[in-house]
């Protein structure tokens, strides 16, 4: 998984575009969940959610994601239909027992999700089994899930060009050692500010980022909720602003949709330079900010490229001085 700049194969675009467009080009392992969410603006019960779901909806705006995950027999058929409509590859989605269920809430500081209950259900005995046709996928997103499952996914794929990892406090607390092992194997770590402090035992985010870079990743992105995101590489750093959102209803899935859009844009442009990371981070922030405008996946399921491009231009304007 060496980070290499792959130049634009535009010469081949007419011949290969049709093939590559119809083929899954990002593999996402993570949770597909039923979420019960309460924010100061309302409540939803057993809505479609999960780290892999948000990430794949966001990635599907740019590329063609395929999932590795598990659901239960209680998972509504209409949600499967919605995923199919988004062109998400479902050959790696198993069904057994009961679907993973997360119950959480937010108070007026919407940057911090508080967990009431995490019911792992079928996830507890989930064994990763990457379908043959997905093993050659070059872009891998290890979305938030048990780090042992993230490691197993990496073991089963052929030779990815680029792997991105996300996680959360639940796994930092329960599987720290496995998590550190995965960090050593990926190109980019995505983590939010509180979790970076917790994992690296420091109050200082620059210090946390330097500790990550020493472990192996070429880049670390620290997500700061509504305050934007920071990118650290060996010699440079970049700060993306948050979008000043007035209408915010539910931030669930913002981190996952940031990650999905980030890798979706990189897989589409096939350019892994630091400069392109910056653009991908802004696309990630744009999609995440839209995601917070409504509950669950209600906003992402109708989001259009024209909405994304409009807000991307606003981001450019916010940064100019």
By CB under 6 A, which span of 68-76, 196-204, 246-254, 264-272 interacts with ligand AMP? 246-254
- 49 Cβ contact partners less than 8 Å away, ≥ 6 residues apart: 33, 34, 35, 37, 102, 252, 253, 296, 297
Which tokens is 13 given? 């675009």
As a residue count, the chain comes to 321
| 295 interacts with ligand AMP by CB under 6 A | no
56 interacts with ligand AMP by CB under 6 A: no
Q: Which of residues 255-284 bind ligand AMP (CB under 6 A)?
A: 255-256
Q: Is the C-alpha dihedral spanning 66, 72, 73, 78 positive or negative?
A: negative
- Rounded distance between C-alpha atoms, residue 296 and residue 248, angstroms: 12
50 binding ligand AMP? (CB under 6 A): yes
49 counts as binding ligand AMP under rule CB under 6 A: yes
Cβ neighbours of residue 263 under 8 Å, at least 6 residues apart?
A: 26, 55, 59, 63, 139, 141, 162, 164, 280
Binding ligand AMP (rule: CB under 6 A), the pick from 92, 253, 264, 284 is 253
Which sign does the torsion angle of CA 157, 269, 55, 300 carry? negative
Is the CB of 64 or the CB of 101 nearer to ligand AMP? 101
**Exactly one of 36, 60, 63, 144 binds ligand AMP (CB under 6 A); which one?**
144
Residue number with CB closer to ligand AMP (217 or 253): 253
> Segment near ligand AMP (CB under 6 A), from 3-11, 125-133, 253-261, 311-319?
253-261
Least separation in angstroms between residue 50's CB and ligand AMP is 5
Nearer to ligand AMP, 35 or 161 (CB): 35
Q: Does 147 contact ligand AMP by CB under 6 A?
A: no
Q: Determine contact, residues 203/197, Cβ cutoff 8 Å.
A: yes
Distances in Å between the Cα of 84 and the Cα atoms of 79, 81, 129 are: 9, 5, 20
CB of 16 to ligand AMP, least distance (A): 33
The values of phi and psi at residue 303, to 5°, are -70, 140
24 near ligand AMP (CB under 6 A): no
Single residue of 59, 93, 113, 261 touching ligand AMP by CB under 6 A: 113
| Residue 28 binds ligand AMP, judged by CB under 6 A | no
The Cα–Cα gap between 180 and 316 comes to: 35
From the CB of 220, what's the least distance to ligand AMP, in Å?
17
Residue 145 or 222 with smaller CB distance to ligand AMP = 145
**Cβ neighbour number for residue 30 with a 10 Å cutoff:** 27
Nearer to ligand AMP, 16 or 174 (CB): 174
DSSP states along 138-195: SEEEE-SS-HHHHHHHHHHSS--SEEEEE--HHHHHH-HHHHHHHHTT-SEEEEEHHH
Q: Which residues bind ligand AMP (CB under 6 A)?
A: 31, 33, 35, 49-51, 102, 113, 118, 144-145, 168, 170, 252-256
């Amino acid at each position: 998984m060496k980070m290499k700049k792959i130049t634009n194969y535009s010469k081949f675009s007419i011949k290969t575009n049709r093939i590559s467009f119809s083929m899954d080009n990002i593999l996402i392992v993570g949770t597909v969940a039923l979420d019960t969410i309460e924010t100061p603006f309302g409540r939803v019960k057993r809505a479609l959610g999960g780290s892999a779901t948000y990430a794949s909806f966001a990635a599907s705006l740019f590329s063609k994601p395929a999932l590795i995950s598990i659901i239960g027999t209680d998972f509504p058929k209409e949600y499967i239909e919605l995923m199919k409509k988004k062109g998400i590859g479902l050959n790696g989605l198993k069904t057994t027992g009961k679907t993973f269920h997360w119950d959480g809430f937010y108070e007026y500081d919407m940057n911090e999700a508080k967990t009431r209950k995490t019911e792992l259900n079928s996830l507890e005995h989930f064994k990763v089994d990457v379908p043959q046709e997905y093993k050659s996928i070059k872009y891998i997103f290890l979305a938030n899930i048990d780090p042992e499952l993230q490691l197993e996914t990496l073991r089963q794929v052929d030779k990815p060009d680029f792997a991105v990892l996300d996680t959360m406090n639940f796994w930092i607390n329960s599987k720290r050692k496995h998590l550190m092992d995965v960090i050593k194997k990926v190109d980019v770590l995505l983590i939010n500010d509180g979790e970076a402090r917790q994992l690296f035992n420091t109050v200082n985010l620059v210090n946390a980022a330097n500790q990550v870079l020493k472990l192996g990743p070429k880049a670390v992105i620290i997500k700061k909720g509504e305050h934007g995101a920071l990118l650290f590489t060996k010699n440079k750093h970049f700060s993306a602003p948050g979008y000043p959102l007035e209408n915010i209803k539910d931030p669930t899935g913002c981190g996952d949709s940031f990650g999905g859009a980030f890798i979706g844009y990189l897989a589409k442009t096939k350019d892994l330079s630091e400069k392109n990371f910056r653009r991908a981070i802004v696309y990630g922030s744009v999609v995440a900010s839209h995601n917070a405008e409504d509950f669950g996946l209600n906003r992402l399921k109708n989001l259009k490229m024209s909405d994304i491009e409009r807000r991307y231009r606003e981001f450019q304007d916010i940064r100019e001085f």
